[in-house]
Amino acid sequence: MDIKAATSTPESRLAASGIVLPQAAPSPIGSFRNVRCSGDMIYVSGQGPVCADGTLMRGKVGDEVTAEEARDHARLVAINIMAALRDHLGSLDRVGGVVKLLGMVNAGPDFERHPFVIDGASDLLAQIFGETGIHARSAFGVGSLPNRISVEIEAIFEMGPQTKDQR
């Protein structure tokens, strides 16, 4: 079944997908907050691949972690991004759309498939947010990430019309 065709809101598409968001988004590991709204924009700080039990997905992509595994890690990051949004806004239905992702891959020097890895997050956000989930994006490799995580992604969203009206 095509989830986008069968349902009309991000929350209903999320439910239809069978994905359960964590009860709470992972806590920041520094002096910042997960989400900050400014005007009509919603900024989500860099999130990592943290499982619901707190396990971190770690390793150097291309050396210790395959591109396919890292793509799954990026999908997990998108789940954590949505958890942070829901924590802050109360519902994903208050989001108007995904504007941009910045994806960083903890990669070995010869690894070249950064866009493939970050597609794990992009594809899930497009599935849940529909047409408004298709976004601009940058994806690149870095020499290291905090706690040796394999992937970190930050995101920019726009508020939905109903959210703008509630301010």
pLDDT for res 7: 62
Written as one letter, the residue type at 96 is G
**71-102: b (≥16 Cβ within 10 Å) or e:** bbbbbbbbbbbbbbbbebbeebbbbbbbbebb
Domains of the chain: 3-165 (3.30.1330.40)
Residues of the chain short of pLDDT 70, as ranges, are 1-7, 162-167
Can you read off the two tokens belonging to residue 14? 């999320």
Written as one letter, the residue type at 44 is V
DSSP state for residue 125 in the 8-state scheme? H
